Amino acid sequence: MSEEYGVVVVGAGNAGVSLAARLRRDGHASIALVEPRATHRYRPMLNYAAAAGARMRRYERPTSRVTPGGVDLVADHVVAIDPVARTVRLGSGRELGYATLVLCPGLTPAWEATPGLREGFDAGWAVSAHVPENVDRAARALADVTSGRVVFSVPPEPASCSGTVLKAMFLACDAWRRSGVRAAIDVHLVTPYAGVLGLEPIDSRLRPLLAADRITVHDRSGIASVDAPTRAVRVDGPRSLGPTDVALAYVTPRSRAPEFVADAGLAAEGTPGLVDVDPLTLRHMRHRDVWGLGDAATVRTRPSGGALRRQVAVAAANITAAVAGGEPTSRYDGYTVIPIAVDSRRLVLAEHTRDGRTAGSVPFVDLTRPRRATYLFDRFVEPVVYDRLLLRGRV
Ligand SMILES: Cc1cc2nc3c(=O)[nH]c(=O)nc-3n(C[C@H](O)[C@H](O)[C@H](O)COP(=O)(O)OP(=O)(O)OC[C@H]3O[C@@H](n4cnc5c(N)ncnc54)[C@H](O)[C@@H]3O)c2cc1C
């Protein structure tokens, strides 16, 4: 016998918690939030923790504490979904029935996509803050480098706010500069985009900063494979890295959605298992009672926490309309954001819509310019906004 809920939300990350809170505020009475992890992390702090000494522990909360009041936290993981019978099966064998299902299980590393990378991480020679469990190791490894070549890589889409790899890179360069070793470190950036992030005007802002910091950019390139024993990184792209002895490989693995999405027939073809939603309404393309948002959904924009502010509002409005028997009328324009600290004082913000158009959130202020105020906001104010407003469905 399954336990019946009005809404089952899968995943208590940024998307799942914010949406459950918003739905609760909008009057939905019966909501289950399924999440196996006991700890919820404020992920945007991971880059600061890796390269600028922020203590990640201050930005972690028990999942039970971020679960909105009136929402049932189900501390388990989804193993299967039957979208016809409208049931969700959990690892423990429990079964939940739903009228509305919302999938926000985030992305998971696709280790198999980069030969040698898993072994490189195990050896401590490859690191990335985008593997949250690896962040302390990444911090130690970056602090330990005093000379040699360091390769940073931006992974191709789908990836979670992948441009923020540059934040870790610039912050690490700044720390090396302050400790007097920067001149002995040869920094390379590998990016799949043309230019830097393939977006204007942010690329024009970043180019002179990269040149001033003597960072070699390999654009339209990817990491083909790595080999920890010989400390080699093989780059696929117009320009090879040359004979390499890489001191540290800051290589972020490629990503995919958890397998249960594809197993349930809910994934979009040609994607690594992403939930197949209409990117405008966030409703599933084939199952009207299934919705998806966040990193794991086909929202056709670069995923980010900032993008979720609008996605949560759109999904909540459309779900509420659908439950009342109406049609979804709210539309997500693809707004997203990439905050990049360019040193330990200043930050640039790339905000754009799905078609790459600039979408500044503050009128008459060019936030793509390096500014102290945006650094302070990102580093100190945003975590409070996240805790007090976003996770409570108030934005
Ligand atoms: C290093 C890093 C830096 C970032 N920096 C920024 C930034 O500066 N600004 C910004 O806006 N965004 C940033 N982001 C992106 C932002 O954190 C993500 O876009 C956001 O967390 C996505 O939320 P989500 O809920 O979709 O996924 P997640 O936050 O990944 O949550 C997914 C949840 O689903 C759960 N789950 C997975 N499988 C199952 C299952 N089988 N059953 C039940 N639950 C499951 C997971 O345990 C997880 O808790 C960053 C991300 C990273 C990794």
Two tokens, residue 296: 């794991």
Query: How far lies 304's CA from each of 72, 115, 145, 295, 351, in Å?
Result: 26, 27, 29, 7, 11
pLDDT tens across 18-30, in order?
A: 999 999 999 999 9
pLDDT of residue 361: 82
Quote the ligand 1 centre to 107 CA distance (angstroms).
7
**CA pair distance 8, 103, nearest whole angstrom:** 8
Whether residue 237 sits in one domain with residue 115: yes
pLDDT of residue 364: 81
Quote the ligand 1 centre to 369 CA distance (angstroms).
27
In a domain, 154, yes or no: yes
In a domain, 302, yes or no: yes
Overall domain count for the chain: 2
Whether residue 275 sits in one domain with residue 195: no
Whether residue 80 sits in one domain with residue 14: yes
Q: Tell me the residue ranges of DSSP E strands in the chain.
A: 3-10, 31-34, 39-41, 60-62, 72-74, 78-82, 87-90, 95-103, 108-109, 148-153, 185-190, 216-218, 222-227, 232-236, 246-251, 255-256, 290-292, 336-341, 347-352
Whether residue 93 sits in one domain with residue 11: yes
Secondary structure (3-state) at 2: coil
Mean pLDDT over each residue of the chain, to the nearest integer:
96
Whether residue 160 sits in one domain with residue 221: yes
Tell the residue nearest (CA) to atom 4 of ligand 1: 44
* Interaxial angle between packed helices 165-178 and 135-144, expressed in degrees from 0 to 180 and rounded to the nearest 10: 40
Given 255, 277, 293, which residue is the final one in a domain?
255
In a domain, 138, yes or no: yes
Q: What CATH number is attached to the domain comprising 96? A: 3.50.50.60
Confidence class for position 243, pLDDT limits 50, 70, 90: low
In a domain, 25, yes or no: yes
Our mutation pick for probing the ligand 1 site, out of 43, 78, 310, counting the most ligand atoms within 8 A of Cβ, is 43
pLDDT of residue 2: 85
- Kindly give the number of the ligand 1 atom that is closest to the alpha carbon of 37: 47
Whether residue 190 sits in one domain with residue 118: yes
- Kindly give the number of the ligand 1 atom that is closest to the alpha carbon of 129: 1
In a domain, 24, yes or no: yes
Given 313, 334, 355, which residue is the final one in a domain?
334
Whether residue 190 sits in one domain with residue 95: no
Given 200, 230, 255, which residue is the final one in a domain?
255
Distance, C-alpha 172 to centroid of its chain = 20
**CA pair distance 377, 385, nearest whole angstrom:** 10
Whether residue 102 sits in one domain with residue 41: yes
Residue ranges making up the domain that contains 234: 110-255
Quote the ligand 1 centre to 109 CA distance (angstroms).
12
Whether residue 250 sits in one domain with residue 127: yes
Give yes or no for residue 253 CB within 6 A of ligand 1: no
Give yes or no for residue 351 CB within 6 A of ligand 1: no
Among candidate residues 348, 13, 33, 356, the one with its CA nearest the CA of residue 160: 13
Query: How far lies 40's CA from each of 16, 60, 64, 281, in Å?
Result: 11, 6, 9, 27
Quote the ligand 1 centre to 375 CA distance (angstroms).
22
Whether residue 271 sits in one domain with residue 322: yes
Q: What are phi and psi of 263, to 5 degrees?
A: -60, -30
Two tokens, residue 76: 């388990």
- Kindly give the number of the ligand 1 atom that is closest to the alpha carbon of 307: 11
Average pLDDT over residues 78-82: 98
Quote the ligand 1 centre to 311 CA distance (angstroms).
14
In a domain, 294, yes or no: yes
- Kindly give the number of the ligand 1 atom that is closest to the alpha carbon of 296: 26
Q: What percent of the chain is predicted at pLDDT more than 90?
A: 94
Whether residue 226 sits in one domain with residue 133: yes
**CA pair distance 162, 130, nearest whole angstrom:** 8
Compare 363 and 135 and report the one with higher pLDDT: 135
Whether residue 56 sits in one domain with residue 18: yes
In a domain, 354, yes or no: no
In a domain, 373, yes or no: no
pLDDT tens across 99-111, in order?
A: 999 999 999 999 9
Is residue 244 over pLDDT 80? no
Compare 258 and 356 and report the one with higher pLDDT: 258
Question: Cβ contacts of residue 216 below 8 Å, gap of 6+?
Answer: 186, 187, 188, 189
